[in-house]
Amino acid sequence: MADHGRRNLCYNRIKNREAEGTGGAAMNLRTAIVEDRKPDAERLEQLLKKAFENENISCSCFASGDEFLRAGWREGYQVVFLDICMEGTNGIETARRLRAADPDLLIVFVTSSPEYVWDAFPVHPFDYLLKPYKEEKFEQLAGELRRVLCRQQPELEVRIARQIVRLPLTKIYYATAQNHYVRVVTDDGECRATANFAQVQEQLQTQPEFLVCNRGVIINMSKVLRFEGDCIEMLDGTHLPVRQKDKNSLLAQFTQYQFRGMQREF
């Protein structure tokens, strides 16, 4: 199977996450503030909680980039507010390390010195906040954050090595049951999740492209190369068995999925 198993996995992590931006449900938002001046950190936390008062927001504060990198960065934050000028590892270097680990993390730089803004550009921050903070500007930023977070793609949430991990559904090839684990293969590699297969199946089947082709096997039909009678060949070269008694029904579902895809293209 290609080289999926040899590549490092790099996924966003978050705990206790519910569906966002659908059905009027409150969005879960985990934020971190990395700021060496306590009054500035407290003011920013106050603005955050006010702007997202109708959401399930949690906010953790760290006094330095080094402290955050040691203790906090793997905890699944969706938004990180970084002071640029700090002792030790400054905000820009902290952001470089975060960006290398998580390309999708939303980083907002905070600074009292506008001249540092251009130095921060290479790490692709979401936005900048100048001190002292203006409530009107922060409300605008909060609105942009909310729109971006609510547009995020559906994800599979599982526990891997004692951490909650989010896997974008569009990247998943297939998942198979393995004793007390579920093996999930994605564009980025493969992982073994501590989960019940039925729970994984329930999450994946919220999207029309996922199909259970056999006991303990669910595939992403957009990652299928061909349907060959007794098995399905995935784009990564893997052959997965088809449940024989349902072969015709499964083939019909796959054909229908392909047809809907062609209709969208034309």
Each residue's pLDDT, cut to its tens digit, for the chain (266 residues) gives 333 332 333 333 333 333 333 344 567 788 999 999 999 999 999 999 999 998 889 999 999 999 999 986 667 788 999 999 998 999 999 999 998 877 778 999 999 887 877 788 788 888 899 999 999 999 999 999 988 887 666 889 999 988 888 898 888 999 999 988 999 999 888 999 999 999 999 999 988 899 999 999 999 998 898 888 789 999 899 999 999 999 999 999 988 887 665 443 33
The two beta strands, 106-111 and 79-83, are parallel
Position 61 scores a pLDDT of 96
Position 198 scores a pLDDT of 95
Position 26 scores a pLDDT of 62
Residue-wise DSSP of 176-238: EEETTEEEEEETTEEEEEES-HHHHHHHHTTSTTEEEEETTEEEEGGGEEEEETTEEEETTS-
pTM recorded for the entire structure: 0.53
Interatomic CA distance for residues 36 and 159, integer angstroms: 33
CATH for the stretch 154-265: 2.40.50.1020
266 DSSP assignment:
-
What tokens does 261 get?
Answer: 């895809």
Position 77 scores a pLDDT of 87
Q: Write down the domain spans for the chain.
A: 28-150, 154-265
Is 28-150 a CATH 3.40.50.2300 domain?
yes
Position 260 scores a pLDDT of 63
Q: What distance lies between CA 234 and its chain's CA centroid?
A: 24
Position 206 scores a pLDDT of 87
Position 121 scores a pLDDT of 77
